[in-house]
Structure 1
């Protein structure tokens, strides 16, 4: 017995299966409480999202010398279109006194200040961000809203500014883990029931995937607590979708191969050993591709992106372990009855050999060149939508699918006060050159005002209010002009930060990450495919189809974002996230299909092998794609545009991969290239069967 065969028997041996089950049960008992603590270990402070070496990030760090505790400004805005009355001013002043004693409010409350048009008042309240990031803003902002609205004398009141926006973002992310988990599990159960057509079989893959999620969350929690791994709400949410989706994919592939082997082997232990031996390399290569792609994110400048890589990689590794040890043990323990009502009896024919996908393969085999050219042209036409993909970032209002109070308040604030009020720039320089830096800032177009500098141990800090909305392109251009101006002051060592600078730096870092990581992921995937398939032509073809599928998915998504969902644009990191998930997961289906095609081609010839491979894997690839697409579509249930866009684009791309690219385009290209698909391996030198024999096989 070969080493790989011997290894494949370990999870499904007559005695070892019980050992595997016992080990996993002990692991789950230990991991359960730790997994529940992951939310507490999340770091949602600004520094966990921003590029580590950006100027705005440096300002966030250095300004702690002036105020040791991080704060965010809440702007309470009162409006009366007919004009503010003296009673309104008294009430707003009474509110300001109450704000000062609100929990988490730290520092001096400024205001109320009346607008130039006499129709609005504003009060600025500094709030302690604390160690919990935006989550610590919610109770304070909720208290401010309750106080301001309690007796507003007919005025409309809103809480906006960085603190108000952060609190509404925290509200949007509230319960994200439980919401995603419940929705994803529901989707997986429904689709597994439809796939297996068995009332009990779905329990085993779902239990195994859920176990993988619990263990991966426990491992990530331990690393976050003791090894400095950064986890935030974004990475924790995507982890749930990825582990359940990818884990279920691996389960479908293994279960489908096990069902085949049960028809060939009377002993279920032997059938599972063969299934693991034959499907294991594809599952291993698939997970290795995802893990390697995720680890490529480590080179990202954006901390939120670089932190996502290891979190997702850990999840996929644990999912691989669960699906190649726990699931096989469970399937062998319960026996054939779990497939009821259609149990795969020993000696019965494999239905996929004459099923729907066998007919599709035969149809493609009659005209492979026409099929792949036509399919490629159709996908290329979908890519036209890329010209309207607006990768310029999202404004504050554009980040929400709805219109929370902070967005309404920001609009009111911009009508009556300088647009940058409540989200000023923060400028730090040497104390000796502070006045020169302030003068240079005030002389810059787009700056409305600047506070007096505060000094501390040879450094100075002041804030500058912008004339334009802080999340607008005009404000970002002002940041560049201010930086140019203050950097030119000799000996000042000036740095410019603040909300607008953060948006600007994050967008530029994300764009740089796109340029660096996308080619790297393509190279890694190409190498893995070449090693797996022992060829060069096939990997190049497969990578090309993945890129085409990705571009088509973005093109279609751009149309829906603009004309159906009416989103204002996409985040700068959107192309990278969609690319990594689509390429890493889309390659899964390439691997599932082409490893089987290669196996069949060795004794049938490539064209007949392509038909046989599609017949054997078409059903499981379709089911896996539907499940994975549905799990990512669950992201669209969150009231956050960025998540909704990623979920939609990835779900659409996975469906294109499953139903069009893998099943039709790749199969047609393989048939057309025939044995040359495997160049330079020995399969490329295989003598094709006579036309009569090939026609009979097809």
Structure 2
């Protein structure tokens, strides 16, 4: 039988008599077709709803803020006050050689145009906001707030129209629009381009890697098609949850879900196809080979997806809105990827038969060519010197972990983009021209009945240099308080804390402090609190799943400690690269928590694949030390491919123009590669060589091998 021969039923086999039950071959063909039909129906139903997900994706400040924070309540309240939400803007005129009289006249005319076109908070009808010149005479600043900007589209349209009015200034004069409202509008513009770019980029990366892995002109299309189906169904399900339960779907959440589906789904496909290829050499019919493959790798894939889903659902305990919602959104993506890869992919592979693997077709009864692979060499070195390898690897990871002390400080709002938009350029110019004071107000809200007491307390707070009443209505009064220190500096943060302390003691005032700087402060504090809650939950969930799968206490503990070390090392490498190499001015406060959840949950996947195969070999009577080397030799290549695919998909996030996405993608990618090529290959294998049967304590394998040792 040649390597390209398709094994089928004999063509001259007698036909079954009328009314006889279906033959096994007919049933085996019917099951895959039925599975494909069900997925086709699901896809047809999902596509219209998947297309609507972008319409309900929200990126308001409150969607990324802590649910119970003062700044979040302030944001909600100002949007509900008469006139809707306000958008604070800064109009900045600058000339290097000094502003001329014509420049000042032009600036006044432009401000007048804005005042005529929009209602300005805190200004009487027809009044024009006061412009403030810098001491060096080169910069003129006009701060104002537009009312009725509660709707994002209305705000963005206003920002674009004002920019159109100030476009094409005279030669040498720079006119820029900044402030929180302009930053939000620029963010919206960036977010709108993320979804399509990310989906296309991830698909291309996965396609290239699958072609290189399978070395087949056709086979790579099947997993990619199945991943695409899973992505569509998951988007439709998320849309349904948004509509039914008002789930917060942000661009960050849906982007991470896309990467998870492509990365994790492709990993499951690689593992299944690899095992299916093995079984095709043993079983005559593709259906039987697939059943054997699913029995062999199914438990590991189920446990793998279970750890990721469980880890993500632990994020529901977080107070931060965007992180909290990431849990169910990400879990939906993982479950859809699992369902598609364990049902639709097997059905398609069985229907398409062996020739799908052309030109490397696994013929029935054939023996694969045995080559001394890289992982055979790595396993042998770990087997010869397990203590040296284990200690050396642990020292390397520990050294890399020290890099966390070099991580930059918390990311400021103006540094959230990798490519500087106009709003950020305007903010930086203002800070340089007016270093002695803040140009961005801190918002204070209080009950109108307590307004005199509140205003007195605000004016008397150390660090507050100016207070302006913005508006009243709905039983609330709003003030804009300006700190003496620049925005998001340690001095301004201290002023906000003092301000909150002063206002907390005013009975009946219900005073709240918000605004962009207060939001950043609440983000920092809430992320720190969320880490204390979520990290223990993730560790507990992962350990429970590992113990249930491996029937051991020691192996799960070793795998968990190993992936935590990978996370620390990846974060440490980020500390060495983010600011000195990549120029990131700060670390997003959510990075430690989100990278921990993903790296622990995803990193354990590869440990599960390895240890499950080790356990499978051990149950056949192979000693633990030898079984671990066999597992590494047989799974090393496919797991390495899976790790590279997963790391590459997360690297796609690093191409997006947001520092949060770039940092998230890079840390997870580095952590996955460390786990794939160092932790799982060397450290876990070395631990297995040293501990031998104790790796499985107190489970069945520990007892079985212990009895075997006593008999000998």
TM above 0.5? yes
SS of residue matched to 1:604: coil
Instruction: Give 1:345's aligned residue.
Output: 363
Pair 1:376 & 2:394 matched: yes
> Does the CA-based 8 Å contact 1:433-1:491 persist in structure 2?
yes
Range that drifts further, 558-567 or 634-643: 558-567
Structure 2 runs not aligned, ≥5 long: 1-23
Instruction: Give 1:332's aligned residue.
Output: 350
Output the CA distance in 1 between the equivalents of 2:332 and 2:134: 56
Instruction: Give 1:425's aligned residue.
Output: 442
Range that drifts further, 454-463 or 523-532: 454-463
For residues 454-505 of structure 1, give each alpha carbon's deviation from its aligned partner in whole angstroms, at most 9, with x where no partner exists: 4435432211122222222221111001111222334433211111111111
Instruction: Give 1:547's aligned residue.
Output: 564
Instruction: Give 1:4's aligned residue.
Output: none
Output the CA distance in 2 between the equivalents of 1:337 and 1:462: 73
In structure 2, which of residues 623, 627, 632 is the aligned counterpart of residue 609 of structure 1? 627
Instruction: Give 1:637's aligned residue.
Output: 655
Instruction: Give 1:591's aligned residue.
Output: 608
Pair 1:309 & 2:323 matched: no
Pair 1:20 & 2:16 matched: no
In structure 2, which of residues 585, 597, 603 is the aligned counterpart of residue 580 of structure 1? 597
> Does the CA-based 8 Å contact 1:102-1:143 persist in structure 2?
no
- 1:639 Cα deviation from its structure 2 partner: 1.4
Instruction: Give 1:74's aligned residue.
Output: 89
- Name the CA shift for 1:569/1:208 in 2 (closer, same or farther; >3 Å): same
For residues 162-183 of structure 1, give each alpha carbon's deviation from its aligned partner in whole angstroms, at most 9, with x where no partner exists: 0121122223333101111111
- 1:100 Cα deviation from its structure 2 partner: 4.3
In structure 2, which of residues 464, 472, 479 is the aligned counterpart of residue 462 of structure 1? 479
After TM superposition, list the pairs within 5 Å mapping 1:94-173 onto structure 2: 94-100=109-115, 110-115=128-133, 117=135, 118-127=137-146, 133=152, 137-152=155-170, 154-173=172-191
Instruction: Give 1:358's aligned residue.
Output: 376
Output the CA distance in 1 between the equivalents of 2:633 and 2:274: 12
- 1:81 Cα deviation from its structure 2 partner: 4.4
For residues 344-395 of structure 1, give each alpha carbon's deviation from its aligned partner in whole angstroms, at most 9, with x where no partner exists: 11112244685442343233222222221221122112112122123x4211
Instruction: Give 1:434's aligned residue.
Output: 451
- 1:276 Cα deviation from its structure 2 partner: 0.7
For residues 395-438 of structure 1, give each alpha carbon's deviation from its aligned partner in whole angstroms, at most 9, with x where no partner exists: 13321223222122112222444776553111122334322222
Range that drifts further, 78-87 or 620-629: 78-87
Range that drifts further, 417-426 or 51-60: 417-426
- Name the CA shift for 1:322/1:12 in 2 (closer, same or farther; >3 Å): farther
Instruction: Give 1:179's aligned residue.
Output: 197
Instruction: Give 1:531's aligned residue.
Output: 548
Pair 1:496 & 2:513 matched: yes
Instruction: Give 1:48's aligned residue.
Output: 63
- 1:689 Cα deviation from its structure 2 partner: 11
Output the CA distance in 2 between the equivalents of 1:116 and 1:354: 72
After TM superposition, list the pairs within 5 Å mapping 1:510-529 onto structure 2: 510-529=527-546
SS of residue matched to 1:157: strand
Question: What is the number of equivalent residue pairs in this alignment?
Answer: 682
In structure 2, which of residues 492, 498, 503 is the aligned counterpart of residue 481 of structure 1? 498
SS of residue matched to 1:364: helix
After TM superposition, list the pairs within 5 Å mapping 1:676-687 onto structure 2: 676-687=694-705
Instruction: Give 2:311's aligned residue.
Output: 293
> Does the CA-based 8 Å contact 2:132-2:142 persist in structure 1?
no
SS of residue matched to 1:264: coil
Output the CA distance in 2 between the equivalents of 1:279 and 1:667: 20
> Does the CA-based 8 Å contact 2:439-2:486 persist in structure 1?
no
> Does the CA-based 8 Å contact 1:82-1:119 persist in structure 2?
yes
Instruction: Give 2:21's aligned residue.
Output: none
- 1:65 Cα deviation from its structure 2 partner: 4.9
Output the CA distance in 1 between the equivalents of 2:27 and 2:650: 32
Structure 1 runs not aligned, ≥5 long: 1-8
RMSD of equivalent CA atoms: 2.5
Instruction: Give 1:3's aligned residue.
Output: none
SS of residue matched to 1:687: helix
- 1:47 Cα deviation from its structure 2 partner: 1.6
Give the TM-score normalised by the residue count of structure 2.
Answer: 0.91
Instruction: Give 1:563's aligned residue.
Output: 580
Instruction: Give 1:393's aligned residue.
Output: 410
Pair 1:448 & 2:465 matched: yes
Output the CA distance in 2 between the equivalents of 1:604 and 1:653: 32
- 1:115 Cα deviation from its structure 2 partner: 1.9
Instruction: Give 1:407's aligned residue.
Output: 424
- Name the CA shift for 1:472/1:215 in 2 (closer, same or farther; >3 Å): same
Give the TM-score normalised by the residue count of structure 1.
Answer: 0.93
- 1:132 Cα deviation from its structure 2 partner: 6.0
Instruction: Give 1:247's aligned residue.
Output: 265
- Name the CA shift for 1:556/1:416 in 2 (closer, same or farther; >3 Å): closer
Pair 1:655 & 2:655 matched: no
SS of residue matched to 1:149: coil
For residues 3-33 of structure 1, give each alpha carbon's deviation from its aligned partner in whole angstroms, at most 9, with x where no partner exists: xxxxxx9999321100111111122122112
Instruction: Give 1:57's aligned residue.
Output: 72
Output the CA distance in 2 between the equivalents of 1:293 and 1:38: 24
Range that drifts further, 538-547 or 561-570: 561-570
- Name the CA shift for 1:383/1:341 in 2 (closer, same or farther; >3 Å): same
> Does the CA-based 8 Å contact 1:607-1:671 persist in structure 2?
yes
Output the CA distance in 1 between the equivalents of 2:85 and 2:78: 9
SS of residue matched to 1:70: coil
> Does the CA-based 8 Å contact 1:42-1:233 persist in structure 2?
yes
- 1:88 Cα deviation from its structure 2 partner: 2.7
- Name the CA shift for 1:353/1:596 in 2 (closer, same or farther; >3 Å): farther
Output the CA distance in 1 between the equivalents of 2:603 and 2:27: 29
Output the CA distance in 2 between the equivalents of 1:531 and 1:687: 20
Output the CA distance in 1 between the equivalents of 2:92 and 2:581: 33
> Does the CA-based 8 Å contact 2:438-2:485 persist in structure 1?
no
Instruction: Give 2:7's aligned residue.
Output: none
> Does the CA-based 8 Å contact 1:352-1:615 persist in structure 2?
no
Output the CA distance in 2 between the equivalents of 1:459 and 1:433: 9
Range that drifts further, 645-654 or 77-86: 77-86
Instruction: Give 1:93's aligned residue.
Output: 108
Output the CA distance in 2 between the equivalents of 1:324 and 1:543: 26
- 1:447 Cα deviation from its structure 2 partner: 1.4
Output the CA distance in 2 between the equivalents of 1:512 and 1:222: 31
- 1:645 Cα deviation from its structure 2 partner: 0.9
For residues 623-656 of structure 1, give each alpha carbon's deviation from its aligned partner in whole angstroms, at most 9, with x where no partner exists: 0000000000011111111111111111000000
SS of residue matched to 1:577: helix
- Name the CA shift for 1:114/1:83 in 2 (closer, same or farther; >3 Å): farther
Pair 1:471 & 2:488 matched: yes
